[in-house]
Each structure stands twice: as structure tokens, then as C-alpha cells.
Amino acid sequence: MSRCCVIFDLDDTLYPERAFALSAFDAIGEWAEANLGVAGLNDDMVRLLDAGHLGQIFPLSLQRRGVDAAHAGHLLELYRQHQPASLQLYPDTTACLDACAARGAIGLITDGTVAVQQAKVRALGIGRRFQHIVYTHGLGGRGFAKPHPAAFEAMQSTVGRAGERFVYVGDNPAKDFLSPNRMGWTTVQVVRPSRIHASATTIEGGAPQHILTTLAALPALLER
């Protein structure tokens, strides 16, 4: 069995990001009913999520209820501060992580507000599985989010051995694969049903080298 370092994305790769969003929407809906007198705002936000309004969910949900959109900033903070009681990995994740850990180091690179991503990792109970985790916004803010190469460079310099093969597994061709492609890594997209960024457009140089529909197929791919 050849050694390699397998680095994973988090959202919609290891667990369904939608589950975190729905949990946060429920908490926001409870706050909105208690403080703004608006019931059912969580259902409105779910419909906007499903309609693809990812960046405008909070102001649009308020506007459609005739509520001052100035509250959107507070809704965003509630989203970021939300601590999910629990999240569930995809059924194929645990066995895949175990198989990859048997081959070498495994790591995690994830975008988003650091506190939010850390809360997800805690809720999933996976932090100790990884030799190294890079929260991209912790490198200096949103400007260091993928496809910025800094997270991949930091990972490569921290785990693995000289000359060892690196593999990156993610879901979003708009950002996940450009930098590892340029660095000579093997790149793998996992195409999950109902992933939030299903409509993402592949950027130039950002196409994955391999596409899977389940992490269960990753160990066999690594043998090639």
C-alpha cells in the first residue's frame, strides 16, 4: 500500500452542510418569533436556500415579511454563533477516513468564519482524526479562502514526508481544486445529492482530476 496524504474539505464533503444551515435557521426562527414577532422565518430561509439565494437569505427573508432588513446583520451573527447540538457525517465518511489514515496523514482545509467551522468540527466529533486542520479565514481573513494557495501550502509544509503524494478531496469546482492542481496534487470531487453549491461553475484550471459519487470509492482510487 503506497503512502499518501489525503486532505479533505468539510462542508458537503464529509457531512451535509444543509444540516448545519437548517439547525441554525431553527435557532434564528425562534429568536425572530420572540423578538420580532415573526413566526415561521426559518421556513422562509429554507425556501430561499433551496432557491439558490445563498448570499441574501437574511435580508430577503426579512424584506418578504415587511421587517426592517437592518436586522439581517444580527441574523448573520446568530447564524455564526449557533452551536449545533449534533451533526451527522455522511454514512461513507468514517470508513473512508479510517482507510486514508492507514495510508498516511490526513488533514482538513475548510473555508468560513473560524468559530463556525470549529463548531461544526466539534459537533461532528472529528477534530482528533486529523493531523492538521487549516481554517482558511484564520490565516488572515476571507481573502485567504480557497482557491488562495496559502492553506494548501501550510498543509503541505506541516504533514507528510518529502516527495509524498498529496490528494485533495472536495466538492466545489469553483474554489476547491485550482491550487492543489497547480501544486501537483491529485484532486477528487465528491458529487453529493442536495449539496448547497451544486450549481457552482468550474473556474479555469479548477476542474478536478477525478469525480466520485461516494467516499467509499476513494480508497480504490488511491491505489491507482
For residue 55, the model assigns a pLDDT of 83
For residue 18, the model assigns a pLDDT of 93
pLDDT at 49 over 80: yes
For residue 204, the model assigns a pLDDT of 97
For residue 197, the model assigns a pLDDT of 87
pTM confidence score: 0.93
Q: How confident is the model at residue 1 (pLDDT cuts 50, 70, 90)?
A: low
pLDDT, tens digit (0-9, with 9 covering 90-100), for 164-206: 899 999 999 999 999 999 999 999 999 998 888 888 899 999 9
Burial class (CB in 10 A: 0-12, 13-18, 19+), 107: buried
For residue 169, the model assigns a pLDDT of 98
Which among 139, 146, 154 is positioned nearest to 107, based on CA atoms? 154
Q: Are 177 and 206 in contact (CB under 8 A)?
A: yes
CA 161, CA 150: separation in Å to the nearest integer?
Answer: 19
CA 150, CA 152: separation in Å to the nearest integer?
Answer: 6
pLDDT, tens digit (0-9, with 9 covering 90-100), for 82-130: 988 789 999 999 999 999 999 999 999 999 999 999 999 999 999 999 9
pLDDT, tens digit (0-9, with 9 covering 90-100), for 138-167: 999 999 999 999 999 999 999 987 778 999
Q: Are 131 and 160 in contact (CB under 8 A)?
A: no
For residue 108, the model assigns a pLDDT of 98
Q: Are 21 and 195 in contact (CB under 8 A)?
A: no
